């Protein structure tokens, strides 16, 4: 039943009543084309009330899934690895970097769980005003959505997290050594330079910004140490340090043409944080704003999402310059 | 001035038997015209990492990597059919080989 404008959103805790039965929608969407798996477009305009209602519906479905599905059936397994589909979707929603990202995720999950009979995978994801009547409380038995929860979670892992982690920490090594002038000369990012040249330039820039030291351990780059040793200054702790991309360099194509798999990863990232794709388009992926200086071991683990950085609120950040 | 603290996933210390010094603060300061890491990108990276860690899905992803490694070493896939060929094909489409 459509709500009139101005109607307050439903409360956060909802219970489903099984109303007039609806035809179960097919949830088996696995195809050979990523386009046919998940179609992440940016969210069309939605009202605050629509977003709040969609959010409450998704929470209610996840809550029902959690309580009605045995733990053993809520796990996916591969070679001994397990995950809980409801947990994955709940955390996707909870940890979206922005309200717009969260709204996108909620809309995407509901569109997946309640597809229109006429929807084809190649079409843009429908707006919330189209999705909500199909998912609205009282019309749908939430258990009909449970298989879709499993499949959505699997697709997110297979087509987004697996490629993202696999690409992380793979920045190509620079081909040339740094010169003694690197600490003072200014390097500029050239959008038209070949990728290896850009990587080398980026490393020099980051070495300058971080004074040649890993931002976590503070160990000095071996190449920088050689230069300083020649000048009579030596550091006791040195390591191979690298320019580590925050979002992987290899997600962009050398020739501007992305594979379906990479295009899909970018669409999901853009769903989480609308506009991030433009920020890192083409050569911008190798901009200093997307890089930090890390020892090689920490670089790999950062790319594999095994550790991360969290901002300290301004009021409690009381140190200056490098590592405190 | 952008200040951060490092955070580890649960599997980080399990794999390495070591920990990052969590009390450390990392401060980025622009020098010689080189911009600091964009807080928005740092936050997006952190969100992806935390989603994997908190949902327990990291083990699943590492299972895919393990299968890929086994394939590269010309071992066989799981005989019970649990190997995820779909994820392996996604990796293949990215031109990924296992380190």
Q: Tens-of-pLDDT digits for all 324 residues of chain A?
A: 344 444 444 433 333 333 333 443 434 444 334 444 454 555 557 899 999 999 999 999 999 988 876 655 545 544 345 678 899 999 999 999 989 999 999 999 998 898 877 655 556 678 888 899 888 866 777 788 888 898 899 889 888 998 888 877 565 554 334 444 444 444 444 444 557 788 889 999 999 999 999 999 888 999 888 888 888 877 778 889 999 999 998 888 766 677 778 888 998 999 899 999 999 988 899 999 999 999 988 898 899 899 999 999 876 655 544 445
Give the list of residues 6+ apart from residue B70 with CB closer than 8 angstroms, or none: B76, B77
Tokens of B69: 């490694």
**What residues make up the domain containing B87?**
59-93
- Contact assignment for B37 to A289 by CB distance below 8 Å: yes
Q: Is residue B20 part of a domain?
A: yes
pTM of the model: 0.77
| Contact (CB<8Å) B20/A307 | yes
B32 touches chain A (CB under 8 A): yes
B40 and B74 part of one domain: no
B-chain residues within 8 Å CB-CB of A321?
A: 27, 29
Q: Are residues B66 and B28 in the same domain?
A: no
Nearest CA in chain B to A79: B63
Name which of A113, A52, A63, A119 is nearest A87 in CA terms: A63
Comparing CB atoms, the residue among A88, A158, A302 nearest residue B86 is A158
Q: Do A166 and B87 make contact, defined as CB atoms within 8 angstroms?
A: no
Q: Are residues B49 and B74 in the same domain?
A: no
Domain ranges of chain A: 34-167, 180-307
Interface contact flag, B45 A324, Cβ < 8 Å? no
Do B30 and B6 belong together in one domain? yes
Q: Smallest Cα–Cα separation from B9: which of A307, A173, A316?
A: A307
Q: State the complex-level ipTM.
A: 0.78
Domain count for chain B = 2
CB contact under 8 A, A324 and B94: no
Interface test with B, best of A244, A304, A314, A320 (most B CBs within 10 A): A304
Residue B74 lies in a domain: yes
> Residue A308: which of B1, B59, B54 has the closest Cα?
B54
Q: Give the strand pairing for B26-28 and B2-8.
A: antiparallel
Per the CB < 8 Å rule, is B47 touching A163?
no
Tell which residue, B85, A143, A126, has the closest CA to residue B93. Answer: B85
Clarify whether residues B74 and B49 are in a common domain. no
Residues B63 and B88 placed together within one structural domain of the fold: yes
């Amino acid at each position: 039943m459509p709500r009139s404008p101005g109607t307050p959103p439903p409360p956060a805790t909802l219970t489903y009543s099984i109303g007039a039965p609806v035809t179960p929608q097919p949830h088996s969407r696995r195809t050979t084309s990523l386009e046919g798996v998940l179609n992440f477009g940016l969210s069309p305009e939605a009202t605050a009330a629509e977003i709040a209602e969609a959010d409450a519906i998704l929470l209610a479905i996840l809550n029902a899934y959690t309580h009605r599905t045995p733990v053993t059936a809520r796990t996916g397994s591969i070679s001994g690895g397990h995950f809980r589909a409801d947990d994955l979707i709940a955390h996707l929603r909870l940890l979206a970097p922005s309200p717009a990202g969260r709204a996108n995720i909620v809309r995407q999950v509901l569109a997946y769980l309640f597809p229109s009979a006429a929807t084809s995978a190649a079409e843009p994801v429908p707006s919330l005003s189209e999705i909500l009547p199909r998912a609205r409380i009282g019309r749908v038995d939430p258990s009909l959505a449970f298989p879709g929860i499993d499949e959505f979670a699997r697709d997110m892992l297979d087509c987004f997290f697996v490629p993202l982690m696999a690409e992380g920490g793979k920045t190509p090594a620079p081909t040339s050594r740094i010169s003694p002038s690197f600490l003072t000369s200014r390097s500029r990012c050239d959008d038209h330079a070949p990728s290896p040249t850009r990587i080398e330039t980026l490393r020099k820039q980051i070495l300058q910004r971080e004074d040649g030291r890993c931002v976590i351990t503070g160990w000095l780059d071996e190449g920088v140490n050689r230069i300083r040793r020649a000048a009579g200054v030596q550091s006791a702790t040195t390591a191979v340090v690298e320019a580590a991309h925050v979002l992987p360099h290899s997600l962009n194509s050398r020739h501007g043409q992305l594979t379906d798999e990479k295009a899909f990863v970018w669409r999901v990232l853009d769903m989480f944080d609308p506009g991030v794709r433009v920020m890192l388009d083409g050569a911008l992926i190798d901009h200093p704003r997307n890089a930090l200086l890390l020892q090689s071991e920490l670089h790999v683990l950062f790319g594999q999402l095994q550790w991360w950085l969290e901002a300290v609120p301004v009021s409690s950040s009381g140190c200056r310059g490098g590592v405190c | 001035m952008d200040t951060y603290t490092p955070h580890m996933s649960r599997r980080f210390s399990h794999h390495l038997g070591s920990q990052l010094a969590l009390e450390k603060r990392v401060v980025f300061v622009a020098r010689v015209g080189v911009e600091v890491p964009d807080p928005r990108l740092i936050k997006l990276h952190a969100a992806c990492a935390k989603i994997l860690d908190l949902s327990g899905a990291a083990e699943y992803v590492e299972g895919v990597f393990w299968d890929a490694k086994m394939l590269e070493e010309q071992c066989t896939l799981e005989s019970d059919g649990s190997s995820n060929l779909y994820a392996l094909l996604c990796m293949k489409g990215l031109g990924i080989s296992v380190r």
